[in-house]
Amino acid sequence: MSHPHPELGAPPALKEGALRVTPLGGLGEIGRNMTVLEFGGRLLIIDCGVLFPEDEQPGVDLILPDFSSIRDRLDKIDGIVLTHGHEDHIGAVPYLLRENPDIPLIGSKLTLALIEAKLAEHRIRPYVLEVKEGERERIGPFDCEFIAVNHSIPDALAVAVRTPAGMVVATGDFKMDQLPLDGRLTDLPAFAKLAEEGMDLLLVDSTNAEVPGFIPHERDISAALRNVFASAEKRIIVASFASHVHRIQQVLDAAHEYKRKVAFVGRSMVRNMGIARDLGYLKVPGNLIVDVKTLDDLPDKDVVLVCTGSQGEPMAALSRMANRDHQIRIVEGDTVIMASSLIPGNETAIYRVINGLTRWGANVVHKGNAKVHVSGHASAGELLYFFNICKPKNLMPVHGEWRHLRACADLGIKTGVPKERTVIAEDGVVVDLENGVAKIVGKVQAGYVYVDGSSVGDITEASLKDRRILGEEGFISVFVVVDSSSGKIVSGPTIQARGSGIDDNAFVPVVAKLQEALSRSANDGVLEVRQIQQLVRRVIGKWVADNYRRRPMIVPVVVEV
């Protein structure tokens, strides 16, 4: 079983007739999925998604893949194949197309409609190629065949990419629900045909590889939702991903059955459900949907609100409701349904929202206390079944944290994939398929690129460290005026603290120490502002650490006169 090493260097030039696979996101994390295929000097990208920030990344809106390894070859990209319309697979497309708007997008009808709506906000009008399951398209040197897979969003596709170096199959996110709401099964016969031809490398969704057995059917949720609707006495507020069309369909069906009106809350929810309805993926009974502005005219028992925020995102509608920062106020007796899973890393934020909602009197229904969510990813039983059908010659788990990747690799080995042909990689690790063997050959830069407001890539790890210090320890500013020729104090020092838990008056004892230290340094001929700042920071930092056991950010301001 291959795995990356810290000492991996830059990959060598790609050999003639070989295929290179470089994941720039989605390995060792849930999100930011992006894989680059290279053959004959041309590139094909599979997915281009975002990762959502965690608590230790304050102020960050989104995290993008690092495009630096392909930035000088953007004109060599023949297309971006999008497997489905979730943000972790399409969310970074606008940022890549900002750098080259001429890159074609290839995907299913719903997927392209969702990304085109996002791109319109960025004023980008891409070239798109709509494909369906069963179709084959030549995209540069890449012969792509598209296969239907079942996921938690309609129109999801896997893609088989044929090149002279061999066939690479990328599943995208998938599961094998045998009773899907839309009747669209994962096309196992198509995968079996690819297996007969010879599947040289399989990139497989590993998110649920640790979960035993088979994922329950999506339609099983309907009964749980109806039970909630039957017992709810006031408003029902449903939080879901803005692209989870199947889940929203079940909510609409339950609302229609119990004679409630539905209002969508949040720009992305309104936009995506409008697209799904216009394209026929969302079936909406007549007069069911109302504008959120009209809710005050309806009795609480007749209202259903559908909003975003199921992952505790701080700016999403549900989080703002929990914080009393939204026009919709939670009241005693409201029922809130969190119809999604807990994405790893989001647990703290999600439980914070649940506690906030409960505090205001809401009855919160979630996966932990009711069957209101089933996963969209194949579990261990399904993966074993899938591997036995596909019989891949080489296996590379993707779309998961380290534990998921390794569990998926172990399942593949149990079904007969040779251990030495099972590749566990991480973002940036370069894998070459040559003479039927996949092996790690190097590593490229694939770090986090942070989006903060309109800033893309300007925020560094050092910036985030400063933000964490400010958030956890506060800061202390020290203002002092010195004579430029002698270095002696003219005025100050004046000390103020914010967020450190230390009262400004508490600094009186250290002022004398600082004055003494500054006088000594002036007598020693220290005149440079930078050196004086370092001295101020050192004296104040030691005093605060000794007396308060804290390490706030210290900002010395030295003015020369």
Positions marked active-site: 205, 377
The answer on whether 253 is annotated among ligand-binding residues is no
The answer on whether 341 is annotated among ligand-binding residues is no
The answer on whether 452 is annotated among ligand-binding residues is yes
The answer on whether 243 is annotated among ligand-binding residues is yes
The answer on whether 377 is annotated among ligand-binding residues is yes
Which amino acid, 339? A
The answer on whether 404 is annotated among ligand-binding residues is no
DSSP assigned state of 19: E
* Number of alpha carbons in the 13 Å side-chain half-sphere of residue 297: 7
> Helix, strand or coil for residue 399?
coil
The residue written with tokens 């910036």 in the block is 463
The answer on whether 300 is annotated among ligand-binding residues is no
The residue written with tokens 């190629």 in the block is 129
99 Cβ neighbours under 8 A, 6+ residues apart: 67, 71, 74
Q: What gap in Å lies between CA 130 and CA 112, rounded to an integer?
A: 7
Widest Cα–Cα separation across the chain: 86
Bridge partners of 452? 455
Cis peptide before 509 (omega within 30 of 0): no
The answer on whether 373 is annotated among ligand-binding residues is yes
The answer on whether 122 is annotated among ligand-binding residues is no
Taking the CA atoms of 501, 505, 511 and 513 in sequence, report the sign of the dihedral they define.
negative
472 Cβ neighbours under 8 A, 6+ residues apart: none
Taking the CA atoms of 335, 340, 342 and 343 in sequence, report the sign of the dihedral they define.
negative
The answer on whether 486 is annotated among ligand-binding residues is no
Q: What gap in Å lies between CA 536 and CA 284, rounded to an integer?
A: 66
The answer on whether 356 is annotated among ligand-binding residues is no
Q: Which two tokens stand for residue 49?
A: 């998604």
Q: Residue 547's Cα: distance from chain center in Å?
A: 41
Say how many Å lie between the first and final Cα of the chain, rounded: 67
The answer on whether 326 is annotated among ligand-binding residues is no
The answer on whether 173 is annotated among ligand-binding residues is yes
The answer on whether 375 is annotated among ligand-binding residues is yes
Annotated binding site for substrate: 242-244, 373-377
Annotated binding site for Ca(2+): 59, 61, 452
Annotated binding site: 59, 61, 84, 86, 88-89, 151, 173, 242-244, 373-377, 399, 452
Annotated binding site for Zn(2+): 84, 86, 88-89, 151, 173, 399
